[in-house]
Amino acid sequence: MKHYQVAAAIITYQNKILCMQRSESSYSYLSYKYEFPGGKIEAGETVEAALSRELQEEMALAVTVKPENFFMTINHHYPDFSIEMHSYIIPVDNQAFERLEHHHHCWLIAARLKELDWAPADIPIVERLMAN
């Protein structure tokens, strides 16, 4: 089974959290699920550099990810692969970005996050955000 190191951004603006809906996927169990944006960490890349690169590629969003932005790490096994996902809270100054790869997005306060259909690996992050 393949194992991936990935990074995810919990992008916040004025007490709201950006929720990104995946497009159709070759893995039907992930199609149209909500997630925190990010992606795979390439060989030789730091987690923070990978997350900055992925946000630029997926959203044309230029941010600097710092180690102190770290939130939590999740290990999750899907039917076809497993991931170790490192998440970071990234505050932004405005809601502007380009949705280049995702199907849909919305901004929600933490208390409403469970209203969406999340990818299973993202659920522990959602639960911790709602508890804080």
Q: In this predicted model, what pLDDT tens digit does every residue of 98-125 receive, in sequence order?
A: 999 999 999 999 999 999 999 999 999 9
Q: Which amino acid is at 50?
A: A
In 3-state terms the chain splits into helix, strand, coil percentages (rounded to 5) of: 30, 35, 35
Q: In this predicted model, what pLDDT tens digit does every residue of 51-80 receive, in sequence order?
A: 999 999 999 999 999 999 999 999 999 999
| 3 state DSSP class of 49 | helix
Q: Give the domains, in start order, of the chain with CATH numbers.
A: 2-131 (3.90.79.10)
**What is the residue whose two structure tokens read 């932005």?**
69
Q: Which amino acid is at 112?
A: R
Q: In this predicted model, what pLDDT tens digit does every residue of 120-131 receive, in sequence order?
A: 999 999 999 999
Q: Which amino acid is at 29?
A: Y
- Dist. CA 40–CA 8, nearest whole Å: 9
Comparing CA positions, the residue from 14, 29, 6 lying closest to residue 84 is 6
> pTM score, two decimals?
0.96
- Dist. CA 69–CA 11, nearest whole Å: 11
